[in-house]
């Protein structure tokens, strides 16, 4: 278990550092499609890279929403879910902390760490968007990880799915689908990011639970 938790810590730190870091240094916004695509790719490629390094150790969840889905499906005990979540949150803070340092080294004020926000769609629009985006992402994960014939390409498929989820989600909310990835930047920045972060914690968990139950009902043999 110790090795699994260390892997989850490292994987989440890499995801947050490279995904959110690309968003920060590329100037990602709804008005900058090039940076928006680069950021989507950075998140997806981070998943692919980590999947083929730590996937055989911890499963490469690096996301509490993924771990919740696995717990609901009985692939992870609830104790393991709690430990995985703690490791993922710690990793997200490590990644955000490193990113904070990098931005500080440039001499600029730290005003962005790739945090999520309601954007122009408001609180309930953001909530609905995150539920749907997370549902699609987690449903795909449940599908590829439950089929042994897809095991060799699971990391690639998951990474590409996270990429296309970000392509739609970035102009809406910045795309969370991962409570740990959202919590760390919000806490370090405070202000509006922190006041809105509850949506990016609750909605991904709701989307994850719906995806787990959908997979159990639609895809698993009775």
| Global pTM value | 0.92
Three-state DSSP at 114 gives coil
pLDDT for residue 205: 98
pLDDT for residue 46: 94
pLDDT for residue 185: 96
pLDDT tens digits along 58-80: 988 999 999 999 999 989 999 99
pLDDT tens digits along 150-176: 667 888 889 999 999 999 999 999 999
Please, what are the domains in the chain? 2-218 (1.20.1080.10)
On average, the pLDDT of the chain sits at 92
Which string of b and e fits 29-42 if b means at least 16 CB within 10 Å? beeeeebbbbbbbb
* Torsion sign, CA atoms 70, 212, 48, 149: positive
Q: How does residue 117 score in pLDDT terms, banded at 50, 70 and 90?
A: very high
Answer for the pair 110, 104: CB distance below 8 angstroms, yes or no: yes
């Amino acid at each position: 278990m110790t090795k699994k938790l260390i892997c989850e810590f490292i994987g989440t730190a890499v995801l947050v550092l490279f995904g959110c870091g690309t968003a920060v240094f590329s100037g990602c916004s709804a008005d900058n499609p090039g940076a928006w695509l680069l950021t989507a790719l950075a998140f997806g490629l981070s998943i692919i890279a980590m999947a083929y390094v730590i996937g055989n150790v911890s499963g490469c969840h690096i996301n509490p929403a993924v771990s919740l889905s696995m717990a609901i499906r009985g692939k992870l005990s609830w104790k393991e879910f709690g430990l995985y979540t703690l490791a993922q949150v710690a990793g997200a803070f490590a990644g955000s902390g490193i990113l904070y340092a990098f931005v500080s080294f440039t001499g600029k004020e730290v005003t962005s760490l790739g945090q999520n926000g309601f954007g122009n769609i408001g609180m309930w629009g953001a909530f609905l968007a995150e539920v749907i985006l997370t549902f699609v992402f987690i449903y795909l994960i449940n599908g590829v990880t439950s089929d042994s014939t897809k095991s060799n390409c699971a990391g690639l498929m998951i990474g590409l799915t996270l990429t296309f989820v970000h392509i739609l989600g970035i102009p809406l909310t910045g795309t969370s689908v991962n409570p740990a990835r959202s919590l760390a930047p919000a806490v370090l920045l405070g202000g509006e990011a922190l006041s809105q972060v509850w949506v990016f914690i609750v909605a991904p968990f709701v989307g994850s639970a719906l995806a787990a139950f959908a997979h159990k009902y639609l895809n698993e043999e009775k």
